[in-house]
Amino acid sequence: MNNLIGVYTIWYRDVLRFWYDKARMFSALLFPVFFLVIFGAGLTQSIGMMAEGVDFIQFMYPGIIAMSVLMGAFMSGVSIVWDREYGFLKEVLVAPISRISVAVGRTLGSATVATIQGIMILVLAPIVDVSLTVWMVVALIPLSFLLAASMGSLGILLASRVKSTEAFQAIMQMLMFPMMFLSGVFFPMQNLPSWMSVIVKINPASYGVAAIRQVVLGNPPDSPFTITLFGHAMGIWENIGVMAAFGLVMSILAMWSFGRQE
């Protein structure tokens, strides 16, 4: 019971902080808009149609949603490191709630924030000429949440191991940028050089990006956006399955590691 309250409180704080941090909210919207406008305006004409009825900016749009979610999710690790740096983590760690509930609350909190950040991008749909349906919005919420929670657990796992802020930031940059840029946000899965194709398939974020794209752009079996694993074209549920499995492993590791730290 106490632990449930703990989870809720930690979650609530994350959401509250996001709410009061207008700058973060603003930049969460600005960065993706920036990508959409620059790459969209710059490349859409010259690249031409990516698939039947899908131009480059439309192709990129669900990727940008996923990217916002990913960026929000990585914040969970970053904010633990900040909390340690600024001392608040001590207040949390001496509270009469278990370490596991702290880790769970943190994961859920940043996943909520990341989901909000992703869903905020939906405002831009008319600009890129993507028509949204209620079903899409309803499906995107849990999907974004799952993607954020899986990636957020990875962040928490790292934050509980790497104690120095500088080292953590270095690792995050080394991990976050490849994970974001090599996840199919900006390019389709087909016709990639084979080394890149391998990396994209190893990158767990790719499956989240693919699933979000499948929701927004539909899911034709011959789509050039589909991830093909060992000759098998991954359907949306299979992508979700990969995400969930990765998330499960990461969150177990994160809780174990977070619980053991001094």
Q: Which of 47, 60, 179, 194 is nearest to 124 (CA)?
A: 60
Q: Is 167 in the site for another protein (CB under 8 A)?
A: no
Among 93, 199, 244, 249, binds another protein (CB under 8 A): 93
Closer residue to another protein in complex, CB, 89/234? 89
Q: Which of 150, 159, 143 is nearest to 107 (CA)?
A: 150
Helix (H) or strand (E) holding 49: strand 49-51
Q: What is the DSSP letter of 225?
A: T
Closer residue to another protein in complex, CB, 91/222? 91
Q: Is 4 in the site for another protein (CB under 8 A)?
A: no
Residues 174 and 5: their CA atoms lie apart, in Å, by 35
Q: Is 97 in the site for another protein (CB under 8 A)?
A: yes
CB 30: neighbour CB atoms within 10 A? 11
| First vs last C-alpha separation in the chain | 24
CA of residue 4 relative to chain centroid, distance = 25
Within 17-46, the residues that bind another protein by CB under 8 A are 17, 20-21
Contact 117, 68 (CB under 8 A): yes
Closer residue to another protein in complex, CB, 26/86? 86
Among 31, 74, 98, 147, binds another protein (CB under 8 A): 98
Q: Which residue has the tokens 């990765």?
A: 246
Q: Is 202 in the site for another protein (CB under 8 A)?
A: no
Using CB under 8 A, which of the segments 11-19, 30-38, 204-212, 225-233 binds another protein? 11-19
Look up residue 176 and give its amino acid.
M
Closer residue to another protein in complex, CB, 187/258? 258
| Residue-wise DSSP of 169-231 | HHHHHHHHHHHHHTTTSSS-STT--HHHHHHHHH-THHHHHHHHHHHHH---TT-TTS-EETT
Q: What is the CA radius of gyration of the chain?
A: 19
Binding marks (x or -) toward another protein, 60..89, rule CB under 8 A?
-----------------------x-xxxxx
Within 127-166, the residues that bind another protein by CB under 8 A are none
Q: How far is the CB of 115 from another protein (least distance, A)?
A: 20
Q: How far is the CB of 8 from another protein (least distance, A)?
A: 8
Among 34, 52, 90, 137, binds another protein (CB under 8 A): 90
Q: Which residue has the tokens 């808009």?
A: 33
Q: How far is the CB of 159 from another protein (least distance, A)?
A: 16
Contact 215, 143 (CB under 8 A): yes
Q: How far is the CB of 262 from another protein (least distance, A)?
A: 5
Using CB under 8 A, which of the segments 92-100, 125-133, 201-209, 218-226 binds another protein? 92-100
Residues 37 and 31: their CA atoms lie apart, in Å, by 10
Q: Kindly list the residues in this chain that would bind another protein in the complex (CB under 8 A).
A: 2, 5-6, 8-9, 12-13, 16-17, 20-21, 83, 85-98, 262
